[in-house]
């Protein structure tokens, strides 16, 4: 624990009471010994519930800040003395973003701008922004706001003086079992013996909360500013998730909903031309004059025409794998 680069540092996580934020806080407290760990979120009830499990009197580093990423002045107050920021706050429900487009823009896009401005003004060392596979060739507003936010984050390195704040992104697929995933929906539907399926051909990337947190910590340490970090993670057939979670239930196929794709992409063909591939990840390098390419030991350029999508993946979860994940995260 004492060898961690985060040991003795001050860290802030926006969306700190969400699925990712909460697990991130738990991992940092258990493994990295930060001096100060700020949970920044707008939901006082979720903070109250989190405080019951992680009270400040037992975790001296913890600070609970009520605030919204739409409020840049509150962000600046919260970032006072902060070394590292992980920006996880967002409106994530696709249908909610489609129905409330202005709200999605204010939180996901303007919120990212506010985090950037506050970090620059507060002399934060590093900012890591959490993105999604839906930002690649987006077909819904949620993905479009995440794509724009990625561009803001990467290009904001041009505003930072030498030795100042650096900005990078992590982009990964569906978090298995999170509140925004399909699993809680299926667990609820199976109580009635009937579940819905959009399209039997559909595939998705899949990552666990713990894997996501560990990848963010790993890339936060390695980042030099401007990268988009993409983990290599397994794919899963949606029909296998349904079978594993709700075996024996009646299935109604309802068709792809607005804003959905058959398959998701984490690395497009055009992005692959300026990416570096490792055994466990890809790193997209920025195409800007301020970028100074690090020495990527062990990395290689993807083959011409390559793209990384959930249907052309080498790694797959089967029904037994999914059953194991469900049992581990949703014990009955």
Q: How far is CA 65 from CA 4, 43, 78, 104, 124, in A?
A: 25, 10, 7, 22, 17
- Pick from 208, 172, 205: nearest CA to 327: 208
45 burial (CB, 10 Å; 0-12 / 13-18 / 19+) is exposed
- Pick from 15, 157, 6: nearest CA to 86: 15
Rg for the chain, CA atoms, rounded: 20
Which of 134, 146, 232, 237 is the catalytic position? 134
| Other CB atoms within 10 Å distance of the CB of residue 308 | 25
Answer yes or no: are the C-beta atoms of 308 and 266 closer than 8 Å.
Answer: yes
Answer yes or no: are the C-beta atoms of 51 and 64 closer than 8 Å.
Answer: yes
Please name the residues in contact with 332: beta carbons below 8 A apart, sequence gap of 6 or more: none
Pairing of strands 308-309, 265-267: antiparallel
Asked about 134 being catalytic, the answer comes back as: yes
CA distance 14 to 255: 35
Q: Is 236 left (phi over 0), alpha (psi -120 to 50) or beta?
A: beta
Annotated catalytic residues are 134
């Amino acid at each position: 624990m004492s060898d961690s680069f985060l040991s003795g540092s001050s860290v802030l996580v926006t969306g700190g009471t969400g699925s990712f934020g909460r697990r991130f806080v738990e991992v940092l407290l258990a493994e990295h010994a930060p001096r100060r760990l700020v949970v920044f979120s707008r939901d006082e009830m979720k903070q109250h519930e989190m405080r019951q499990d992680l009270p400040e009197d037992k975790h001296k580093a913890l600070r609970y800040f009520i605030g919204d990423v739409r409020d840049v002045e509150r962000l600046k107050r919260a970032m006072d003395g902060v070394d590292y920021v992980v920006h996880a706050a967002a409106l994530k429900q696709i249908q909610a973003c489609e129905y409330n487009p202005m709200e999605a823009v204010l939180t996901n896009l303007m919120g990212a701008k506010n985090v950037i401005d506050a970090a620059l003004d507060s002399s934060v060392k590093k900012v890591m922004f959490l993105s999604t596979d839906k930002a690649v060739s987006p077909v819904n507003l949620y993905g479009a706001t995440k794509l724009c936010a990625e561009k803001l984050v990467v290009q904001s390195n041009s505003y930072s003086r030498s030795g100042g704040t650096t900005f990078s992104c992590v982009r990964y697929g569906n978090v298995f079992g999170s509140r925004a995933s399909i699993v809680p929906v299926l667990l609820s539907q199976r109580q009635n013996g009937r579940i819905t399926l959009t399209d039997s051909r559909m595939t998705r990337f899949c990552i666990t909360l713990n894997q996501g947190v560990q990848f963010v910590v790993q890339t936060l340490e390695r980042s030099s500013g401007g990268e988009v970090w993409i983990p290599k993670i397994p794919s899963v057939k949606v029909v296998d998730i349904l079978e594993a979670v709700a075996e024996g239930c009646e299935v109604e196929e309802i068709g792809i909903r607005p804003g959905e794709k058959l398959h998701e992409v984490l690395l497009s063909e055009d992005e692959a031309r300026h990416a570096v591939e490792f055994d466990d990840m890809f790193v997209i390098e920025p195409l800007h004059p301020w970028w100074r390419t690090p020495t990527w030991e062990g990395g290689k350029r993807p083959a011409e025409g390559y793209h990384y999508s959930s249907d052309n993946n080498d790694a797959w979860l089967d029904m037994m794998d999914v059953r194991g994940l469900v049992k581990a995260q949703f014990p009955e």
